[in-house]
Structure 1
């Protein structure tokens, strides 16, 4: 019997998020962020299966409503913070006039404050989660394997048409072909029976995933970076993370105290907000320091100190957003709705029994 909650995956999610944050803070001098994104998409597909618990089969409306409550409030908070930074910097903030700009304006603002890469990352995750109910229907069947194989072949063909490393709008569009089959791979590896493996092999793949991620964070483009920015590299990277994630899910990890597990869970829950906040915080700090100290201030003058302060500020914002928006507001709202739905049939059953008793 596999665990309902696995803190190993929580720790992996935290490590992947921090790798992406440092990747953006360091000016992309390493390829760790790219490798971490591979792990994110595989992990997202894996957790989508395990966290659904039949929700995708109950009804599309209920599924999309819950996903909207899970994703949109934090995204709106991030959009507001980013627009505040843009306003302080004197940049044009898109207006909210008209129905079309209700979507276009936040997208343009997010693109300005986070860059095209981050917007595409969020866009891909939202799109794949929107497709998940239909993907879930063919999950565990032969059709799903054919769908996974077709997505891999499609990515292979597209990678030959245009190099993935071309980081402009056309090149970024090609990310979708890679990210889709990584998400499907994560869904597929959720069905693997990893308990049949020898314990030594499972720990080997857990170690391989950690080494792959850490090595990518200290290796330049000529090392893992050259491999990762190619179709074979994405196959290798995605395969390593798929085996690492499935192994982490199946092994019995050392027990931890309840306070430590609580904070590990909080840290994992904060990753979504931290990813959205870390770039606007960096831009805001740069603008503030240039105003206070010198117009030509650059983060390269005090890189470690600058990154550390930016990470602390981003983490504080992510913590309060997670606690007060995701948990106390959205979480309690969804919990009350769930309890109300469960109590309704019970009350109806009691009323029916009372009516039968009265007739007797």
Structure 2
């Protein structure tokens, strides 16, 4: 491993494309899907493995990934002090909002139809104020006083949107400590510890359980963690075998921690080395195995997968409970889990290719006309969950 003394003099900077960080997104999103499924299926997997339960922490891995890849994508304009905040927010809006609004519209139709036919569901979860805060993506910014369960996973988009708005502040910290990445990583750990203790004192729960109730606090140290990992990665160079070995080792350690039900905060911390090691595969060109077209396509559709899986699950159970006259809280059969997974994947790819991509292109072209680019980000980078 080689270490350099100054930013800008690294022996081999990260290449523009980091395909492993795109491919891993599908695995992370699928993990969140299976986390929610295991709350509905009849098998109790916890005595055998904690992987399904800990898979819900894929959201935290996405937060880390978000800080990492946005720093990568905008590294040059940040170092030159020429970040166009308007264009940055337009690009982030184009990434997050089209699929978010499309899926929210589907939920709205589903709730309306369920109300008309007298379906069994808790109408308090679908209130106008909650809908407004969800549309604006502010429903995870404050203590939960109004229930906003229109699409449960969208709380993380609210947290991501906060991080996007605050990106200049995060980026400034990353630049100030760019030559001292270990201090940056220690700072992220300290912020995580302080917020975790504060959240436990006020709400009686771990910070990694924060969602609609101040879930924004969850992204702050993890986004900073991702920035610190990127700055560290700029100073590290592995040979091909070292890079592959580090990626496998970090993945195995993370899976073992999940399997043996390690403290969730430890699992989140272990997700960081996996993100870094996967990115480091691209420096010596050791990323071909994770850059296959189907893997990249699945990674690109992971955001839509994350968004659609709960509405599809709720809709499926609602329809079946209405047809069979049983409670919507019924336990899924194995064949229903298989059908749901297939339908969810189909819906995710449909949303991605028919709505998300065209709308993103249209919005970004509009932003280009409004604010012509003088300096572009060096690479669009791999996309995050909402990031």
Is the Cα contact below 8 Å between 2:29 and 2:306 reproduced in 1?
Answer: yes
Give 1:289's aligned residue: 320
Is the Cα contact below 8 Å between 1:94 and 1:105 reproduced in 2?
Answer: no
Cα distance in 2 between the residues matched to 1:168 and 1:255: 37
Find the residue that maps to 1:250 and give its secondary structure. Answer: coil
The 5 A counterparts of 1:302-317 are 302-303=333-334, 305-317=335-347
Is the Cα contact below 8 Å between 1:32 and 1:213 reproduced in 2?
Answer: no
Cα distance in 1 between the residues matched to 2:128 and 2:253: 44
Query: In the superposition, relative to structure 1, how do residues 129 and 148 fare at CA in structure 2: closer, same or farther (>3 Å)?
Result: farther
Find the residue that maps to 1:210 and give its secondary structure. Answer: helix
Query: In the superposition, relative to structure 1, how do residues 257 and 120 fare at CA in structure 2: closer, same or farther (>3 Å)?
Result: closer
Query: In the superposition, relative to structure 1, how do residues 10 and 337 fare at CA in structure 2: closer, same or farther (>3 Å)?
Result: same
Cα distance in 2 between the residues matched to 1:234 and 1:257: 22
1:80 deviation in Å? Answer: 0.9
Find the residue that maps to 2:15 and give its secondary structure. Answer: coil
Query: In the superposition, relative to structure 1, how do residues 168 and 133 fare at CA in structure 2: closer, same or farther (>3 Å)?
Result: closer
- The one of 81, 90, 97 aligned to 1:65: 90
Give 1:26's aligned residue: 38
Could you list the runs of 5+ residues in structure 1 that have no partner in the other structure? 345-360
1:50 partnered with 2:72: yes
1:21 deviation in Å? Answer: 0.8
1:87 partnered with 2:112: yes
Cα distance in 1 between the residues matched to 2:61 and 2:348: 21
CA deviations on 1:84-136 (whole Å, 9 max, x unpaired) are 2323333364348xxx9744677679932433xx3432222111122112322
- The one of 249, 269, 274 aligned to 1:241: 274
Cα distance in 2 between the residues matched to 1:178 and 1:321: 27
Is the Cα contact below 8 Å between 1:194 and 1:250 reproduced in 2?
Answer: no
Task: Give the TM-score, by structure 2 length.
Answer: 0.70
- The one of 140, 145, 149 aligned to 1:112: 149
1:136 partnered with 2:171: yes
Cα distance in 2 between the residues matched to 1:255 and 1:155: 35
Of structures 1 and 2, the one with the larger relative CO (CA 8 A, separation 6+) is 2
Is the Cα contact below 8 Å between 1:85 and 1:283 reproduced in 2?
Answer: no
1:169 deviation in Å? Answer: 12
Query: In the superposition, relative to structure 1, how do residues 101 and 19 fare at CA in structure 2: closer, same or farther (>3 Å)?
Result: closer
Is the Cα contact below 8 Å between 2:237 and 2:283 reproduced in 1?
Answer: no
Find the residue that maps to 1:112 and give its secondary structure. Answer: coil
Is the Cα contact below 8 Å between 1:113 and 1:279 reproduced in 2?
Answer: no
Cα distance in 1 between the residues matched to 2:267 and 2:35: 18
Is the Cα contact below 8 Å between 2:191 and 2:221 reproduced in 1?
Answer: no
1:289 deviation in Å? Answer: 1.2
Root mean square deviation of aligned Cα: 3.8
CA deviations on 1:121-156 (whole Å, 9 max, x unpaired) are 222211112211232234332388666544422322
Task: Give the TM-score, by structure 1 length.
Answer: 0.75
Is the Cα contact below 8 Å between 1:158 and 1:174 reproduced in 2?
Answer: no
Find the residue that maps to 1:166 and give its secondary structure. Answer: coil
Is the Cα contact below 8 Å between 2:64 and 2:223 reproduced in 1?
Answer: yes
Higher helix share: 1
Could you list the runs of 5+ residues in structure 2 that have no partner in the other structure? 1-11, 41-45, 47-51, 116-122, 140-145, 375-387
Find the residue that maps to 2:286 and give its secondary structure. Answer: coil
Query: In the superposition, relative to structure 1, how do residues 113 and 339 fare at CA in structure 2: closer, same or farther (>3 Å)?
Result: closer
Is the Cα contact below 8 Å between 1:82 and 1:110 reproduced in 2?
Answer: no
1:185 partnered with 2:220: no
1:207 deviation in Å? Answer: 1.1
1:338 deviation in Å? Answer: 4.0
Give 1:15's aligned residue: 27
Give 1:36's aligned residue: 58
